[in-house]
Structure 1
């Protein structure tokens, strides 16, 4: 039934999702050029509110659970498992008070309404995966902006989407590089559940009636821990929440 109703409601979802991207392209431009970073961020937050809750058109339930009082005056590195492109709007919206920035492929900075504009001007890191030196420099620049502005960053340490929901081994590089520049950052694992089910049949039809959740797990104080230990601990917490052993 998920697939059957997906054929019916996926076109409606894509229509509204695409419409939001087109509408907010000029809104972002106006906000950025007339009001600077603060106005632009508000427009991006609002865009991602609509992108997140457009999932209701697919009968999707959305749950964000954060039992922790995370500091607003300290950089945070959110370490998150990755299941689909629909992970991202909700993270931007739910983590908006922390000014969460993303490490993205540089290819995404071209040709996508609203998304490309935000990646160019939103303060994240746009990396060329074929150029390790450029990628490291961009992440270090992001770390500097985090330190100066108390911004946060979202890292998907699996490096790619887990299309079947099975967590891939977390890579150490992203967290380690950021902690070089922002050693006082709090590391916070976040686990995403069931986002992969939306696209289990491919881009069309999207699966109808899935139950998606984003859950903040126990923060990790870097202290004297090695960055690799921190990344491994975050992976273990994510796997434990998903009942997936190493």
Structure 2
């Protein structure tokens, strides 16, 4: 028994797994995931709803993508789409100032993600005049989510899965490099992008098993508020995967590729 415990300890030490846990605690991973979820719901979701209302292709927009991303079907999918589908007059009732505020808050969301990546890679905060990077990242994120919504209706089966995984990995690979100002090499960022996509796939499976029945129950018990609570929980999981995937990629590079801190 002692030999087994000793072998397990040596394996744990060789993997440097404690270092990964310590880094997650240092950057306050769960706190950042909660902030990611809040900013997504308050700033990014309204922006995507407006974009979906102006969708020239009519692919279902943000509501259908959200239901599909959470792995929902049947009554749970209808409950989510009912509260996230934009009203017919959303474009005509959105003022110029409203659009400006959405853009400003969206850039703040990009700045939060950038700060998280900087903390993960031990980089100093970027100067304020590089806010154009956050705005560009937000535009590319919107285009990526729009493309995902179109794939939901245009492709099926393995072609759709392949396109979704490839575009997602490319986005998170490019996104880290772009927000970090090119200070980290492309090859060092690839493991994090792959880990992020793997985590999102796992989150989708978890959501279909756990969140799907909870949405139906909460919709009956609490109405729209109960559905929003589940969406917020899912977005927290997305934030955890986005930051956790990048952190895992850095850990891989530091301890199992380069064998020295990045």
TM-score (normalised: structure 2): 0.28
TM-score (normalised: structure 1): 0.30
More helix by share: 2
**RCO comparison, higher one (Cα < 8 Å, 6+):** 2
Structure possessing the higher radius of gyration over alpha carbons? 2
